[in-house]
Amino acid sequence: MRAEGERLIKSIEAAAFPFDDTYTGFRPEPGRSAPRFPEAI
């Protein structure tokens, strides 16, 4: 767990994808609804 956390921190600090601001301008299509999940059984 610690090793994965350290790897993630390095990615964030290096601004590697997906932490590189690639999707900062993303906007969903107008009228797009949120996904619906099935009711609990």
Under 8 Å between Cβ of 12 and 19:
yes
Tell me what pLDDT residue 26 has. Answer: 86
**pLDDT tens, 8-39?**
999 999 999 989 988 888 888 999 998 888 88
What helix, strand, coil percent values describe the chain, rounded to 5?
A: 30, 0, 70
Tell me what pLDDT residue 41 has. Answer: 65
Question: Does residue 7 or residue 23 have the better pLDDT?
Answer: 7
Backbone angle region of 37, left / alpha / beta, with phi > 0 → left and psi within -120 to 50 → alpha: beta
| Cα distances (Å, whole numbers) of residue 12 to 18, 29, 31 | 8, 28, 33
Tell me what pLDDT residue 40 has. Answer: 78
Question: Does residue 6 or residue 22 have the better pLDDT?
Answer: 6
